[in-house]
Amino acid sequence: MKLVFLGPPGAGKGTQAKIVSERQKIPHISTGDIFRENMKKQTELGKKAAEYSNKGLLVPDDLTNKMVENRLNGNDCKRGFILDGYPRTIPQAEFLDSIMKIDKVINFELSDEEVVKRISGRRTCSKCGTAYHLLYMKPKKSGNCDKCNSPLVQREDEKPEVVKKRLEVYKKQTSPLIDYYKKKKLLVNISAFSTIEEITKKVELSLKR
């Protein structure tokens, strides 16, 4: 199964990719991992990509495409894979189509309100980095870490105003992709407003169709 996962921040796309990858025995491929891997190994592509990201610029599509293509040529991808964070643009989607046939595109849907609630509730320990959530994983003592008692902080990109901006960027980027895959009849919409187990069940059911 060659799969692409789409979804806004906070929809649990990465979590589902990890679970489904283990259950289906296909690799979970995120662009973040591909970038880090290429930079760590100092590949030519990695070095070029680093030049852009060090300047705070977006890595151009042709570099990203090439790195993804190399990764998808890996032996572990023969039975399939889950792409997470790629494609992000129509040219990337067209490139992907030119190198192989994707079986399904799973689009995790979540309301803006729920995205903001999920992300802006996150807190992190300022010392040991343990993650909490004000609604779903409350610390025993409000505002302090259970493990080391250090103050909990909210990351800048988890503040409601910033989350709303991230969502706008996501929608602007992703809505053309959703249309693109809908036209190709590959798109499966799955509500992410549910438990992790329920969502996995729905994903796996959709793979059998």
The stretch among 15-23, 25-33, 35-43, 149-157 that binds Zn ion (CB under 5 A) is: 149-157
User: Binding to Zn ion by residue 58, rule CB under 5 A?
Assistant: no
Q: Which is nearer to Zn ion, 125 or 199 (CB)?
A: 125
In angstroms, give the least distance from the CB of 86 to Zn ion: 34
The single residue of 104, 118, 123, 166 carrying the catalytic annotation is: 166
Say if strands 152-153 and 122-125 run parallel, antiparallel, or are unpaired: antiparallel
The answer to whether residue 164 is catalytic is no
Distance separating alpha carbons of residues 173 and 6, to the nearest angstrom: 11
By the 10 Å C-beta count (0-12 exposed, 13-18 middle, 19+ buried), 145 is classed as buried
Please tell me the total number of residues recorded for the chain in this structure.
Answer: 209
> Quick one: which of 148, 169, 196, 205 contacts Zn ion (CB under 5 A)?
148
> Quick one: which of 78, 79, 147, 165 contacts Zn ion (CB under 5 A)?
147
Distance separating alpha carbons of residues 18 and 25, to the nearest angstrom: 10
Specify which residues 124 forms β-bridges with. Answer: 131, 153
The answer to whether residue 79 is catalytic is no
The binding site for Zn ion (CB under 5 A) comprises 125, 127-128, 130, 145, 147-148, 150
Where in the sequence numbering do the catalytic residues fall? 13, 88, 122, 155, 166
